[in-house]
Amino acid sequence: MKIGTLGAGEIAQAFAIHLLKAGHEVLLSNSRDPGSLKQLVAKLGKGARAVTMSEAAKAPIVVLAVPWPKVAEVLGQLPGWDGRILIDATNHFLLPSHELADLKGRVSSEIVAELAPSAMVVKALNTLYASNLAREPREGKGHRVIFVSGDDADAKGEISVLLKGLGFAVIELGSLSEGGRAQQVGNGLAGVDLVQLGD
């Protein structure tokens, strides 16, 4: 599969390692010229490419991995999504303070979904520290858990299949409003690194 990333930092790189190992193509982008990612894509190896944000956003599956204060700016400059899948890996930290942004009771992924109309938003990859996400998904006699939430069953199913194909265990938590809220930083799952036992 072809997967685009908006942001090429810690989270995008940690996920890219697994995607590339499984033979997927990863199109990485950041706020600068693709040339700024030359060394990174060389390090990541076969299947990794540096592209512009708009090219990354054209992939059938796109990972949103930019700091929360940049989310509106990034999504605001992209064309329509036409039903493509947007994995929301963000946490709503303000920078540089790392205080939580005031969402006025709303769910961060619902805000992302509003900013990317016609995207199928799936909340995933946000609960593990990047250093844990980068680790081998198969751990001892089990599989590292990724939580997944979303309003579109097909999109959620597609991401679950992708993640399981990489060796992760998937726990689906429901809609963006329920599961997305549970996954949201501040609600107990942040940083939790679970391994589900079994094949």
Ligand X SMILES: NC(=O)c1ccc[n+]([C@@H]2O[C@H](COP(=O)([O-])OP(=O)(O)OC[C@H]3O[C@@H](n4cnc5c(N)ncnc54)[C@H](OP(=O)(O)O)[C@@H]3O)[C@@H](O)[C@H]2O)c1
Residues of this chain that bind ligand X (CB under 6 A):
7-12, 30-32, 53, 65-68, 70, 73-74, 89-91, 93, 126, 129-130
Nearest approach, Cβ of 154 to ligand X (angstroms)? Answer: 25
Nearer to ligand X (CB atom), residue 147 or residue 160: 147
Shortest CB 198 distance to ligand X, Å: 25
The smaller minimum CB distance to ligand X, of residues 30 and 109, is found at 30
Return the number of the residue (36 or 118) whose C-beta is nearest ligand X.
Answer: 36
Scanning the structure block, which residue is given the tokens 């094949």?
199
Tokens representing 154 are 């097909």
Q: CB of 64: closest distance to ligand X in angstroms?
A: 8
How many Å is the maximal CA-CA distance in the chain?
44
The answer to whether the CB of 149 falls within 8 A of the CB of 172 is: yes
Q: Which is nearer to ligand X, 141 or 187 (CB)?
A: 187
Shortest Cβ 133–ligand X spacing (Å):
7
**CA distances to 36, 132, 170, 186, 197 from 145, in Å:** 32, 11, 6, 19, 10
Instruction: Return the number of the residue (25 or 193) whose C-beta is nearest ligand X.
Output: 193
CA angle 175, 64, 42 (to 5 degrees): 140
* The two three-digit tokens of residue 67, written as one number: 């700091």
The closest residue (CB) to ligand X is: 9
Please provide residue 97's backbone torsions phi and psi, each rounded to the nearest 5 degrees.
-70, -25
Q: In the complex, what is the shortest distance from the CB of residue 199 to ligand X, in angstroms, rounded to a whole number? A: 27
DSSP three-state, residue 103: coil
Rounded Cα distance, 122 and 47, in Å: 24
